[in-house]
Amino acid sequence: MDLSLSGSSPLPIYRQLFDQLCSQILDGRLKSGDALPPIRTVARELSISVIPVKRAWEELEAAGFIESFVGRGCFIAPMGTDKLQKLKQAMAADKLSDAAAYCRGLGLSREEAAALLRDAWDSTEP
């Protein structure tokens, strides 16, 4: 598990934690059944208060990424390929809607925006 927080990010800390764990679960770095460390340990390690970590964990649970068991802690939830795919799409749609709104704000057309996404896709190909 990799977590790094930025004080200059406009996103609140719990959101940063949520996003980072989401992407690590979606890209397979964290696998179902993996245990998450206790929230208090995470808070101490990251030098932040407990509440944002708790909030991030709660939102991950609500979104179906993790499961918590009283007394045993939190684990990455088991996910079928179907569910994984749906979560991936939901996450991507969320990001892209921001980008779409931005393009619309600049007065670009639907086609221009789509072309830009294709270009961006190609240019980031490894």
Partner 1 sequence: MALLDVRELEKRYPTFTLDKVSFSLEPGYIMGFIGRNGAGKTTTMKAMLNLIHRDGGQVYINGRSFFENERACKEEIGFVMGEFDCYKNATLQKITDVTRRFYPDWDEQAYESYLSRFALEEGKKIKELSAGMRVKYALALALSHNAKLLILDEPTSGLDPVSRDDLLDVFRSVIEDGSRSILFSTHIISDLEKCADYITYIKGGKVLSSTDVISFREGYRLVSGDREHLEVRRPKLIGCKEHAFGFTGLIRAQDAGAFAACKIAPADLESIMIYTEQEDGHETASL
Site residues, partner 1 (CB under 8 A): 10, 12, 14, 40-41, 43-44, 47-52, 55
Q: Which residues pair with 36 in a beta bridge?
A: 74
Q: Burial code of 76-85, b = ≥16 C-beta within 10 A, e = fewer?
A: bbebeeeeee
Q: Which lies closer to partner 1 via its Cβ, residue 48 or residue 100?
A: 48
Give least dist CB 11 to partner 1, A. 9
Give least dist CB 113 to partner 1, A. 24
Q: Which lies closer to partner 1 via its Cβ, residue 59 or residue 88?
A: 59
Q: Which lies closer to partner 1 via its Cβ, residue 35 or residue 50?
A: 50
Residues with Cβ < 8 Å from 39, sequence gap 6 or more?
A: 50, 53, 54, 57
Alpha-carbon dihedral sign for residues 20, 74, 66, 14: negative
Q: Give the position of tokens 């994984």.
A: 84
Give least dist CB 14 to partner 1, A. 6
Q: Which lies closer to partner 1 via its Cβ, residue 40 or residue 86?
A: 40
Give least dist CB 22 to partner 1, A. 18
Residues with Cβ < 8 Å from 33, sequence gap 6 or more?
A: 75, 76, 78
